Copies of this chain bind each other. A is one copy, B any other.
Amino acid sequence: MGVFSIRTTKRTSIVNITANVKEEVKRSGVRSGICIVYVPHTTAAVFINEGADPDVVRDITYMMEKLIPWEDRSYAHSEGNSAAHIRSAIIGNSRVIPVENGELMLGRWESVFLAEFDGPRERKVIVKVIGER
């Protein structure tokens, strides 16, 4: 199992972690199997989408704030970060990617992202690769 850390810089930080995940896949020595990218934090999420144009991530950030705004009078959680918990629960705190010939089977435009919705914080990402060496 591999673990790496990401330091986020803003309240909402969406960070491309593809290179980190690829490194853990290589280190695992698995040739054929699956890779789990898992964030053990309740205000963060993992998703896969386009990494080429940064405007895609900007639009995802915009829509998360539009749908699940930071401020809402009906939130009950006393820490004031309910929006971050809700976004994390809906998007999900992990993604799974097939591995073949020792490589992630990511599509041409796909990157793996860590989304922190209540930063800035130091966050851990767990990468578990299982299969045949």
A-side residues, CB < 8 A to B, are: 1, 32-34, 36, 38-42, 47-50, 53, 55-56, 58-60, 62-63, 66-68, 74-79, 82, 85-86, 88-98, 100, 105-110, 124, 126, 128, 130-131
Contact A47 B92 (CB under 8 A): yes
Question: Contact between B48 and A110 (Cβ–Cβ < 8 Å)?
Answer: no
Return A80 CB to nearest CB of chain B, in Å. Answer: 11
How many Å from the CB of A6 to the closest CB on chain B? 14
Query: Min CB distance, A125 to chain B, in Å?
Result: 11
A48 to chain B, nearest CB (A): 5
Contact A76 B48 (CB under 8 A): no
A39 CA to B98 CA, complexed, in Å: 10
